[in-house]
A = this chain, B = another copy of it.
């Protein structure tokens, strides 16, 4: 995390008024900064402008910062064009950072380019899905290259702050390795698990529980978009897929030879990985405990549960609702700090809820 003191100075030009571009426009306007909008589709510009994300850019406008928010396949060309056409700082919001940098390296103005990647928004698309609050509290990778001007970096971090996000500074190479690990490879393996469900007899899926639903949720994402992203990050993804393949081979070997020790070693590495995920708000991971409550499945019951939980002054860190296949009762899992779990259970029980310890 970086400590940014610069204030964002406009006008900011947003190139590409999809979900991310329009949301950045809205967030900058919220911060009182002038925003200029550009898109190959004049209709998209009108929509974004109508939503309050800024005004169409005119030829005589002189942006101080250009944010390139176009699909992965067009990023490099648009960043180069922005560096050539303006004397502004240029950033982008692409999911992969070494590719766009390669398009820029050695060109005039390369010192004005600083890559960026907000960790938000991939499950929706289009300007109508945009929101000034899309980035609130989210990490936003800022990836200067070795030739980036420090003032350009400060200006991009000022954009991140104006959008309410938290700048995480990484080199472009580190960034790509990081997202391969935390996003691209998990997505691909979730797809491999989900693909097995598509292959299986429908009646076997009656035994589907919450676990496999969670494992496969991200695999519902747009194949064309993820195809672009993974292709653009091929090197880092391949390195990790090679590790996965090697460990899968040991796993197959361990299961095939009933080598319980080898199998448990892989499973223990998995447990260690779940513990390595940072806690909320960047704080150290606190011990958490799940509290399970039976909840009738009709409007208002969850409200009543959360109202009763609220009365107990215990903060609920996460919620899962278990989908059940045959009855109008759901099982709700409330994740709370371990030290507060007994208090919550007692409080809910005294209000008539059926809990499962």
B residues within 8 A CB of A208?
A: 182, 277-278
Q: Does A34 sit at the interface, judged by CB under 8 A?
A: no
B209, A248: Cβ atoms closer than 8 Å: no
Main secondary structure of the interface of A (DSSP, over half): helix
Q: Does A211 sit at the interface, judged by CB under 8 A?
A: yes
B residues within 8 A CB of A327?
A: 136-137, 164, 166, 281
Q: Nearest Cβ in chain B — how far from A131, in angstroms?
A: 4
Q: How far is the CA of A244 from the CA of B270 in the complex (A)?
A: 18
B residues within 8 A CB of A204?
A: 170, 174, 177-178, 181-182
Q: Does A148 sit at the interface, judged by CB under 8 A?
A: no
A278, B241: Cβ atoms closer than 8 Å: no
Q: Nearest Cβ in chain B — how far from A303, in angstroms?
A: 3
Q: Nearest Cβ in chain B — how far from A133, in angstroms?
A: 5
B residues within 8 A CB of A31?
A: none
Of all chain B residues, the one with the shortest Cβ separation from A241 is B252
Pick the interface stretch among A52-60, A107-115, A254-262. A254-262
B residues within 8 A CB of A191?
A: 266-267, 269-271, 273
A240, B325: Cβ atoms closer than 8 Å: no
Of all chain B residues, the one with the shortest Cβ separation from A309 is B303
Which of B119, B192, B301, B305 contacts A209 (CB under 8 A)? Answer: B119
- The count of residues in chain A whose C-beta lies closer than 8 Å to any C-beta of chain B is 149
Pick the interface stretch among A10-18, A83-91, A230-238. A230-238
A194, B357: Cβ atoms closer than 8 Å: no
B290, A203: Cβ atoms closer than 8 Å: no
* Centre residue among A136, A241, A273, A294 by max chain B CB count within 10 A: A273
Question: If A244-B196, A248-B244, A273-B193 touch, does A255 touch B267 (CB 8 Å cutoff)?
Answer: no
Q: How far is the CA of A316 from the CA of B221 in the complex (A)?
A: 22
Q: Does A274 sit at the interface, judged by CB under 8 A?
A: yes
* Centre residue among A240, A304, A319 by max chain B CB count within 10 A: A319
A198, B272: Cβ atoms closer than 8 Å: yes
B residues within 8 A CB of A292?
A: 131
A192, B317: Cβ atoms closer than 8 Å: no
A168, B324: Cβ atoms closer than 8 Å: no
A131, B255: Cβ atoms closer than 8 Å: no
A237, B255: Cβ atoms closer than 8 Å: yes
B299, A134: Cβ atoms closer than 8 Å: no
Which of B136, B234, B270, B326 contacts A281 (CB under 8 A)? Answer: B326
B325, A280: Cβ atoms closer than 8 Å: yes
B-contact bits for A99-143, CB 8 A (1 contact / 0 none): 000000000000000000001000110001111011011110100
Q: Nearest Cβ in chain B — how far from A20, in angstroms?
A: 13
Q: Does A315 sit at the interface, judged by CB under 8 A?
A: yes
Q: Does A151 sit at the interface, judged by CB under 8 A?
A: no
- A sample of 20 cross-chain residue pairs with beta-carbon separation below 8 angstroms, ordered by A number, consists of A166-B327, A168-B207, A178-B204, A187-B211, A189-B189, A192-B247, A195-B273, A197-B277, A205-B276, A211-B218, A216-B273, A219-B271, A223-B267, A238-B252, A241-B252, A281-B327, A281-B328, A298-B315, A299-B313, A302-B306
